[in-house]
C-alpha cells in the first residue's frame, strides 16, 4: 500500500481532533499546578492517536461494506473503493493500530491504577466502534456530533488529567468540562460539517444524521450556534476564574470563522465544509492553547 493511500485510509489530517484536546489536557494540568507524569502522558498520547486513526479505518471500512449504491463503492468519497483496496489490506492496518492503542493503553492503566481510567477507556472504545458499526451506527443517527464532541473534546482531556494520578471529583469534572468546552463544540462542528457535505449522499444511503432532519440550511445555523456556545463557555470560564483571561485571545478566531462560513454557505460540499472547518478548529484551538500557555508562563 502506497504511503499516500495509507494516509488517506487512516485520515491522518483528522488526527488534529485528538491532538488538540490532548494538549488542552496537559495545559490544564500544568495551569492547576498538578505534577505532570510525562511517561504516562507520552504513552497515552501514542495510544490515543493510534486509536483515533483505527476508528477512521473502521469507519471507512464500514461505510464501504454497507454502501447501498455502486457510486459509493466505486470510490466517490471512499478511499477503499477508489484505490481498489482489499478487505484484508484494510483489516491489517486496523489490527496493527488497535494492537498499538490497546497495548499502550493497558500499560498506562498498570501505571495509573484504579477503575475510573479503564472505564473511560472502554467507553471511548465503545463509542469509537459503535460510531460506524453495529446494528445502528451512531454516525447514521442525529447523535453523531454529540458523541464525537464529548468523547474527543471532553473525555480525552479528562483522561489526560487523570494519568497524572489525580483523584476524580465533581469539581474536577466541572472545571475540566469548562476548560474543554471550546474543543467539544469545535469537534462537534467538524462532524456536523462532514454531514453537511455528505447530505446528498446520506439521503441516498439512508443515513439519518442530524442534517437529514434539519436540512443543510438549518444545520448551517446550528454550525454557527455551536461556535457561539464555545466562545460563551470561554467567557464563563474567565468570569468564574476557571480560565485565565488570556484565553480570550481565542476571540481573534471569530474573523476567519465568519469568512469561512460565507464560503461554506455557498459551497455546501465536502470541499467547502470539512477542510475549512478543520482550519477553523486549528485556528480557534491554537489561539486558545496560546492563551493557556501565556497564563502558565507569565502566571496570570
H or E stretch at 8: helix 3-10
Rounded Cα distance, 43 and 48, in Å:
9
Give the model confidence (pLDDT) of 98-111 as tens digits. 999 999 999 999 99
The predicted-structure confidence for 126-149, as pLDDT tens digits, reads as follows 888 888 777 788 888 899 899 989
Beta-carbon count within 10 A of 3 CB: 7
CA separation, residue 55 to residues 58, 63, 113, 140 (Å) = 5, 12, 26, 15
Model confidence, pTM: 0.88
Q: What is the DSSP letter of 209?
A: -
Domains observed in the chain = 3-298 (1.10.600)
If 0-12 CB within 10 Å is exposed, 13-18 middle and 19+ buried, where does residue 86 land?
Answer: exposed
Average pLDDT, the chain: 87
Instruction: Report the distance separating Cα 176 and Cα 166, nearest Å.
Output: 12
Axis crossing angle, helix 210-239 with helix 270-298, rounded to the nearest 10: 20
Q: Is the pLDDT of residue 293 over 80?
A: yes
Which segments of 159-225 are extended strands (E)?
none
Exposure string over 196-230, b if 16+ CB within 10 A, otherwise e = bbbbebbeebebebbbbebeeeebbebbeebbeeb
Q: What is the pLDDT of residue 294?
A: 95
Q: Which residue has the higher pLDDT, 70 or 218?
A: 218
Is the pLDDT at 73 greater than 60? The verdict is no
Residue pair 144/210 in contact (Cβ under 8 Å)? The answer is yes
Q: What are the E-state strand segments in 144-221?
A: none
Sign of the alpha-carbon dihedral angle for 290, 13, 131, 277: positive
pLDDT at 34 over 60: yes
d(CA 122, CA 115): 11
Query: Is pLDDT at 57 greater than 70 in this prediction?
Result: yes
Alpha-carbon distance values, 249 to 24, 243, 284 (Å) = 15, 12, 9
**Cell numbers representing residue 8 in the block:** 488517506
Amino acid at each position: 500500500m502506497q504511503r499516500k493511500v495509507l494516509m488517506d485510509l487512516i485520515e491522518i489530517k483528522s488526527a488534529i481532533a485528538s491532538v488538540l484536546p490532548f494538549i488542552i489536557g496537559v495545559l490544564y494540568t500544568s495551569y492547576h499546578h498538578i505534577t505532570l507524569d510525562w511517561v504516562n502522558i507520552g504513552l497515552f498520547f501514542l495510544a490515543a492517536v493510534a486509536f483515533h486513526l483505527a476508528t477512521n479505518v473502521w469507519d471507512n471500512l464500514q461505510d464501504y461494506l454497507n454502501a447501498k449504491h455502486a457510486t459509493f463503492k466505486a470510490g466517490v468519497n471512499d478511499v477503499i473503493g477508489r484505490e481498489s483496496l482489499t478487505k484484508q489490506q484494510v483489516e491489517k492496518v486496523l489490527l496493527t493500530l488497535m494492537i498499538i492503542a490497546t497495548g499502550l493503553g493497558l500499560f498506562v492503566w498498570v501505571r495509573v491504577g484504579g477503575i475510573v481510567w479503564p472505564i473511560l477507556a472502554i467507553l471511548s472504545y465503545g463509542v469509537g466502534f459503535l460510531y460506524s458499526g453495529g446494528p445502528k451506527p451512531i454516525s447514521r443517527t442525529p447523535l453523531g456530533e454529540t458523541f464525537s464532541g464529548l468523547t474527543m473534546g471532553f473525555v480525552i482531556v479528562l483522561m489526560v488529567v487523570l494519568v497524572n494520578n489525580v483523584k476524580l471529583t465533581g469539581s474536577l469534572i466541572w472545571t475540566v468540562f469548562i476548560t474543554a468546552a471550546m474543543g467539544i463544540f469545535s469537534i462537534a462542528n467538524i462532524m456536523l460539517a462532514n454531514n453537511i457535505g455528505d447530505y446528498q449522499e446520506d439521503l441516498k444511503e439512508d443515513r439519518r444524521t442530524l442534517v437529514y432532519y434539519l436540512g443543510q440550511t438549518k444545520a448551517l445555523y446550528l454550525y454557527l450556534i455551536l461556535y457561539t456556545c464555545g466562545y460563551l463557555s470561554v467567557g464563563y470560564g474567565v468570569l468564574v476564574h476557571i480560565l485565565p483571561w488570556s484565553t480570550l485571545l481565542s476571540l481573534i478566531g471569530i474573523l476567519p470563522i465568519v469568512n469561512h462560513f460565507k464560503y461554506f454557505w455557498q459551497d455546501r460540499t465536502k470541499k467547502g465544509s470539512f477542510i475549512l472547518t478543520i482550519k477553523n478548529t486549528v485556528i480557534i484551538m491554537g489561539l486558545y492553547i496560546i492563551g493557556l500557555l501565556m497564563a502558565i508562563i507569565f502566571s496570570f
